[in-house]
Structure formats: structure tokens, C-alpha cells
């Protein structure tokens, strides 16, 4: 089963959306196999968003993502990378479809509530940045017999 890294960003935590977002992930059938609330260190944030280091919005992105607690998760399930990107919606919430997290709860690209890895390779890299192996739980959910053919 594929794994992906998901974050409820500081705006999502401040707005009390953690439960709503976790609920959507769980109800979709995806399995949360690691979860933590913490204030991400600046060095960790810069590593996480390294691909954007030269972009004009990088300094404000790092300042925002480290500005308060966020919730980090490892999410597992069939095609979880693609599915979580769809659950989150388009990067710019103005373009995000209703029914997606960004399409239901956000308006500004710099305050788009959630993150999810954009490829399996990015997922592996991001999971390793944010979690030790010992923090990730391998378990079965009883509803897997209903979720998967
Ligand atoms: P995503 O988070 O959908 O993977 P991304 O990797 O292109 O999108 O960008 C990472 C984050 O950076 C994004 O969630 C919000 C911020 N961002 C992206 N483009 C931006 C822009 N043009 N102006 C301000 N912030 C931006
Ligand atoms: Mg991205």
C-alpha cells in the first residue's frame, strides 16, 4: 500500500479544522499510520519545501509554516498520493473544486490549510523528514475487508 505525507498547516489548526480534515481522510478509507502536532523547526521547514527555495514566496512560506503548531500525518492506502492531492484540491483555493478541503475552507494560496506529497518519491522524502520509523505504526483497520476488493 502506498504512503503519503499530509500536514494540516498552522491556519488549519488555528481555525479548528483538524478534526474535520482527519475525519475526511478517515472516511475516505485512508489509514492514518502516524500523527503529531508540533511547531515545525525552521530548518525542517526549509528542507521540506527545498524545491521552492528560489521562489519569491519562499521566505513567507517558511515564516507561515513555522508560525504555530501544525499536524503532521503519514497516510496509507490505495494510490494515497493521488487520492490525498484530490481530497486537498488545487493549490490555489480559488481554483479548488467544492467538496475538496481547499475548495470548502480556503481562499488564499498562502493560507491553503493542507499539504500532501505530490509523488511517491516526494512522499518517501517528506515522511523521512518528519517521522522516525519507530513513530509509524503498521496495523490493519477492520474495515479494510469492505474497502478493498
Ligand atoms: P502544493 O501545496 O499544492 O503542493 P506547491 O508545492 O506548488 O503546492 O507550493 C507549496 C506551497 O507554497 C503552497 O501550498 C502554497 C505556497 N505557494 C505556492 N505557490 C504560491 C504563490 N504563487 N504565492 C504564494 N504562495 C504560494
Ligand atoms: Mg507541493
Q: Catalytic residue at 115?
A: yes
Q: Are 2 and 80 in contact (CB under 8 A)?
A: yes
* 3-state DSSP assignment of residue 39: coil
How far is the C-alpha of 119 from the C-alpha of 117, rounded, in Å?
A: 6
Atom of ligand 1 nearest to the CA of 9: 14
pLDDT tens-place string over residues 71-105:
999 999 999 999 999 999 999 999 999 999 999 99
What's the average model confidence in pLDDT over 103-119?
98
pLDDT at position 83 is 98
Dihedral (Cα; 48, 117, 78, 1), 10-degree rounding: -20
How far is the C-alpha of 133 from the C-alpha of 50, rounded, in Å?
A: 22
CATH assignment of 2-134, among 3.40.50.720, 3.40.640.10, 3.30.70.141, 1.10.3210.10: 3.30.70.141
pLDDT at position 37 is 98
Ligand having the closest approach to the CA of 112 = 1
Check pocket membership of 57 for ligand 1, CB cut-off 6 A.
Answer: yes
Out of 109, 117, 122, 123, mutate this one to test ligand 1's pocket (max ligand atoms within 8 Å of CB): namely 109
Check pocket membership of 112 for ligand 1, CB cut-off 6 A.
Answer: yes
How far is the C-alpha of 140 from the C-alpha of 41, rounded, in Å?
A: 32
pTM: 0.98
61 alpha carbon – ligand 1 mean position (Å): 8
What's the mean pLDDT when you consider all of the chain? 98
* 3-state DSSP assignment of residue 138: coil
77 alpha carbon – ligand 1 mean position (Å): 25
What's the average model confidence in pLDDT over 40-52?
98
Amino acid at each position: 500500500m502506498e504512503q503519503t505525507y499530509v500536514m494540516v498547516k498552522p491556519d488549519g489548526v488555528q481555525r479548528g479544522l483538524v478534526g474535520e480534515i482527519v475525519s475526511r481522510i478517515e472516511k475516505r478509507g485512508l489509514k492514518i499510520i502516524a500523527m503529531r502536532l508540533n511547531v515545525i523547526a525552521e530548518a525542517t521547514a526549509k528542507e521540506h519545501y527545498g524545491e521552492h527555495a528560489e521562489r519569491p514566496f519562499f521566505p513567507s512560506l517558511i515564516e507561515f509554516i513555522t508560525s504555530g503548531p501544525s499536524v503532521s500525518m503519514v497516510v496509507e492506502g490505495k494510490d494515497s498520493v493521488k487520492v490525498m492531492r484530490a481530497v486537498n484540491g488545487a493549490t490555489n483555493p480559488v481554483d479548488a473544486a467544492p467538496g475538496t478541503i481547499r475548495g470548502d475552507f480556503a481562499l488564499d494560496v498562502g493560507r491553503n490549510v493542507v499539504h500532501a506529497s505530490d509523488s511517491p518519491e516526494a512522499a518517501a522524502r517528506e515522511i523521512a523528514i518528519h517521522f522516525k520509523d519507530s513513530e509509524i505504526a503498521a496495523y490493519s483497520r477492520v474495515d479494510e475487508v469492505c474497502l478493498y476488493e
